[in-house]
Structure 1
Amino acid sequence: MKKTLKQIANWLDVKNAQFEDTIVTGVSIDTRTIKKGDLFIPFRGEKVNGHRYVEKAFENGAAATVWVMGEPNPPKDVPVLFVEDSEIALQEMARQYRNEHNAIFIGITGSNGKTSSKDILASALSPYYKVQKTTGNFNNQLGLPITILSLDEDTEIAVLEMGMSGFGEIEFLSKLARPHYAVITNIGEAHLQDLGSREGIAKAKFEIIKGLDEHGVLFYDGDEPLLQNLVGKEPNLNVESFGFNEDNSLVASNIVTTEKGSQFTVRGELNGEFFIPVLGEHQVKNALNAMLISKSLGLRDDQIHFGIEQAKLTDMRMQVIQSSSGILFINDAYNAAPTSMTAAIQFIQTTHMRSEKWLVLGDMLELGENERQFHEELASVIDESKITKVCLFGNRMNWLYEKLQNKFAIENLIHTNDDYEQIINYIKHHASEESIILLKGSRGMKLETVLESFK
């Protein structure tokens, strides 16, 4: 982005702006990460008032700042835009910049796999287009506008992750981004405590069509009946489905996993053998939507082959880490819900990468009143004939621990509420070069802490 302060003032309908020729090349809400040329946007929080850091923002390179009217002691003799609300101003700037931008916008939502799908898609398209994607977790009502405003003016593809915790949030983000393509990766159980049921989650995710371009296409998990039902109620919606069932637009089968990644066969809109350098059947499904979008953009089959072979995921998503002691870790500890936890456990149980298979599992959070049931049900997923040892971390995992005591010998099963060292020491004493260890838990459990002792 390269705009004068006058142009931004016009976006926000701000009158009598001074220093109108000042050039703004980005936005920031954090003085610690601000870049030279950024417009600083301070927020008034319950504990911190960002207006106190405006001087620091200029010291760190800010070109200008927003200032909420009514806030005392505004800065003098520097470029300032006075607005009524910082959040609304940020969102309006993003809306205006989006309206001027010529990129193809792609919105991705879902209970699990948003970030992995974003990463695979961006990797697949990057050899052929200038692609930018959401960084980190900038996927909400503040993060998405910042992501849009960070797009270079010559970006050709914008891959935008859209997160939510309640109804109406995806609709807002979709109408802001107005995607040409939209993706719903799946429907899981995350945010059950806010949305009440999987049906509610599906309805909230399906809001992504609210801002979809009139000629746009929705790509969705065709194995999910809840999404099939919602699609059926939109006869004028352009859709493509992906999954493992035969009636999808693109079907994956014959999935074989090695330490290098996943080989699989596809049929439908594309046909043949494909490979991604990523582990897990669920990641193959995430690759399918990238392949369909690549096809819709006009890429040839050989280009799609090459593109998805470049896939690289954000850390802590089925990340393979070889420890100095020879133990192989699969770090999938960024987040967890029953659907993604089950997929990761099934991957470990079916892989031939190592003979001795471990599970290190942490609490699944935000599951609402049925959280005990969801933790206990994992016992039916865990096959004691395939899993050597199980380490459980967190108060909620005690429910699973009680269920597993009848399946595992006492020396092969441990539980701790909050002691990483107990798990670390257990691994040090019992794991070997034949061990592959899955780390999986909700973000708040920080199971990647276990890895620090093995790097």
Structure 2
Amino acid sequence: MKKKLQQLATWLTIENQAFPDTVVTGISIDTRTISKGDLFIPFRGEAVNGHRFVEQAFEKGAAASLWMKDEPNPPENLPLIFVDDPEQALQKMAECYRNEHKATFIGITGSNGKTSSKDILAGTLSPYFKVQKTIGNFNNQLGLPITILQLDEDTEISVLEMGMSGFGEIEFLTKLARPHYVIITNIGEAHMQDLGSREGIAKAKFEIVKGLNEEGLLFFDGDEPLLQSLVARTPNLKTQSFGFTRSQDLVASNIVATAQGSSFHVEGAINGDFFISVLGEHQVKNTLNAMLVSRALGLTDDQIREALKQVVLTDMRMQLISVGELLFINDAYNAAPTSMHAAIQFIEQTTIRKEKWLVLGDMLELGNDEQSMHEEVAAYIDNQKISYVCLYGPRMKWLYEKLQTKFDAAHLVYSEQDYDPIINKIKLNATSESIILVKGSRGMQLEKIIQSNELA
């Protein structure tokens, strides 16, 4: 984005703007990461008042800043835009910039796989288009507007991740972004405490179609009955489905995992053999939605095939990490029962190494059913295929108690709040024949186990 301050003021219906010719080339809400030319957005919260940092933002290169009208003592002789509410101003500017931007916008939501799908799709398209995607977890009512305002004016494809914790949030984001294509990766159990049921989660995710362009397409997990039902009840919605069952528009089969990634065969809208340097059947499914969007944008099968070979995911998504002779799969970015099951299924089936380890941490935000959902993980764990299980966090005690009938004390470790017992078990027992899955919710920070100096 490259706009004069007067243009931003016009978007916000502000007259008599001072310093109208000041040029803004980006957006920032944090002085620690501000870039030269940014417009600084100060928020006023209970603990921190961002207005205290406005002058510091200018010292670090900000071109201009918003300022709340009721905030006293604005600095003099600096390019300020006075607004009633910085958040609403940010969203309004994003809406206006989106309305004039010529890019193709793609929105992605789902319980699991949003970030992986974003990375795979952007990686597949990048050799052929100028693509910008959501950075990190900037996927909410603040992050998505910032992502839009950070788009270069010549960007051809914008891939926008859309997250939520309650009803109405995806609807707000999709109506702001007005995507040409939308993807629903799956329906899991994350945010069950806020939405009450998987049906509620599906309904909240399906809000993404409310902002979809009239000629746009929804790509969805056709193996999910809840999404099938919502699609069937939505007239005039253009869709393509992906999955592992024959009734889908794009079907994957013959999935084979190696130390380099996953090979698979597809039939339907696209046909042939493909490879992606990512592990897990669930990641193959995330690849299917990227393939369908890429085809809709005009790429050939060969172009898609070559691009997929180069795709790289954000860290901590089924990421292979070698520590000396040990081999870890770092899938510690997030966890819910659906993704936990998928990761365990992968480790049980893989032939990369013979001795299989599970290092599992609490699954958060599951609501009233969190105990039963942790206990049910025991049914996924086959003690004929898994050699060691290490559990971390207060909620994993429920799983630990269930697994005591499957594993003896030498092969089952539980620690409520100390990584050391797990690190020591790995140090003493894991070998060059071991592959160790590390998975838990972000708040458990299980990557610290992999990063331990004791294992280096």
What is the aligned partner in structure 1 of residue 189 from structure 2? 189
- Mapping 1:100-115, distance limit 5 Å: 100-115=100-115
Map Cα deviations across residues 390-422 of structure 1 (whole Å, 9 max, x no partner).
000000000000000000011000100010111
Q: Distance in 1 between matches of 2:289 and 2:224?
A: 14
What is the aligned partner in structure 2 of residue 221 from structure 1? 221
What is the aligned partner in structure 1 of residue 52 from structure 2? 52
What is the aligned partner in structure 1 of residue 380 from structure 2? 381
1:426 aligns with 2:452: no
What is the aligned partner in structure 2 of residue 445 from structure 1? 444
1:143 aligns with 2:153: no
Deviation at 1:16, TM superposition (A): 1.2
Deviation at 1:307, TM superposition (A): 1.5
Deviation at 1:56, TM superposition (A): 0.5
Q: Distance in 1 between matches of 2:187 and 2:309?
A: 26
Q: Distance in 1 between matches of 2:339 and 2:64?
A: 43
What is the aligned partner in structure 2 of residue 397 from structure 1? 396
Q: Distance in 2 between matches of 1:285 and 1:300?
A: 19
The one-letter code matched in structure 1 to 2:87 is E
Map Cα deviations across residues 274-312 of structure 1 (whole Å, 9 max, x no partner).
100000000000000000001111111110111211211
- Mapping 1:233-244, distance limit 5 Å: 233-244=233-244
Q: Distance in 1 between matches of 2:434 and 2:363?
A: 24
Q: Distance in 2 between matches of 1:46 and 1:330?
A: 40
Q: Distance in 1 between matches of 2:177 and 2:401?
A: 47
Deviation at 1:426, TM superposition (A): 1.1
Q: Distance in 1 between matches of 2:22 and 2:226?
A: 51
- Mapping 1:37-436, distance limit 5 Å: 37-324=37-324, 326-436=325-435
Q: What is the SS of the residue equivalent to 2:32?
A: coil
Q: What is the SS of the residue equivalent to 1:32?
A: helix
Map Cα deviations across residues 342-374 of structure 1 (whole Å, 9 max, x no partner).
000000000000000000000000000000000
The one-letter code matched in structure 2 to 1:276 is I
Q: Distance in 1 between matches of 2:192 and 2:234?
A: 25
Q: Distance in 1 between matches of 2:386 and 2:300?
A: 42
**TM-score (normalizing by structure 1):** 0.99
Deviation at 1:236, TM superposition (A): 0.2
Q: Distance in 2 between matches of 1:393 and 1:383?
A: 19
Map Cα deviations across residues 82-135 of structure 1 (whole Å, 9 max, x no partner).
000000000001000000100000000000000000000000000000000000
Q: Distance in 1 between matches of 2:410 and 2:301?
A: 51
Deviation at 1:209, TM superposition (A): 0.3
The one-letter code matched in structure 1 to 2:376 is E
Q: Distance in 1 between matches of 2:403 and 2:13?
A: 62
Q: Distance in 2 between matches of 1:276 and 1:80?
A: 48
The one-letter code matched in structure 2 to 1:381 is Y
User: How much is the aligned-residue C-alpha RMSD, in angstroms?
Assistant: 0.5
The one-letter code matched in structure 1 to 2:132 is Q
**TM-score (normalizing by structure 2):** 0.99
Q: What is the SS of the residue equivalent to 1:98?
A: helix
Q: Distance in 1 between matches of 2:93 and 2:313?
A: 30
Q: Distance in 1 between matches of 2:100 and 2:295?
A: 26
The one-letter code matched in structure 2 to 1:372 is Q
Deviation at 1:430, TM superposition (A): 0.6
The one-letter code matched in structure 1 to 2:83 is V
Q: What is the SS of the residue equivalent to 1:182?
A: strand
Structure 1, gaps ≥5 residues long: none
Q: Distance in 1 between matches of 2:15 and 2:436?
A: 60
Q: Distance in 1 between matches of 2:93 and 2:386?
A: 52
Deviation at 1:151, TM superposition (A): 0.5
Q: Distance in 2 between matches of 1:442 and 1:300?
A: 38
Q: Distance in 2 between matches of 1:306 and 1:13?
A: 48
Q: Distance in 1 between matches of 2:141 and 2:153?
A: 22
The one-letter code matched in structure 2 to 1:211 is G
Q: Distance in 2 between matches of 1:252 and 1:172?
A: 33
The one-letter code matched in structure 1 to 2:425 is Y
Q: What is the SS of the residue equivalent to 1:201?
A: helix
Moved >6 Å (runs of 4+): none
What is the aligned partner in structure 2 of residue 33 from structure 1? 33
Q: Distance in 2 between matches of 1:159 and 1:113?
A: 14
- Paired residue total: 454
Q: What is the SS of the residue equivalent to 1:288?
A: helix
Structure 2, gaps ≥5 residues long: none
Deviation at 1:234, TM superposition (A): 1.1
Q: Distance in 2 between matches of 1:274 and 1:452?
A: 33
Deviation at 1:235, TM superposition (A): 2.4
Q: Percent identity?
A: 70
Map Cα deviations across residues 231-257 of structure 1 (whole Å, 9 max, x no partner).
001120000000001000000000000
What is the aligned partner in structure 2 of residue 18 from structure 1? 18
The one-letter code matched in structure 1 to 2:197 is S
Q: Distance in 1 between matches of 2:35 and 2:131?
A: 21
The one-letter code matched in structure 1 to 2:326 is I
Deviation at 1:335, TM superposition (A): 0.4
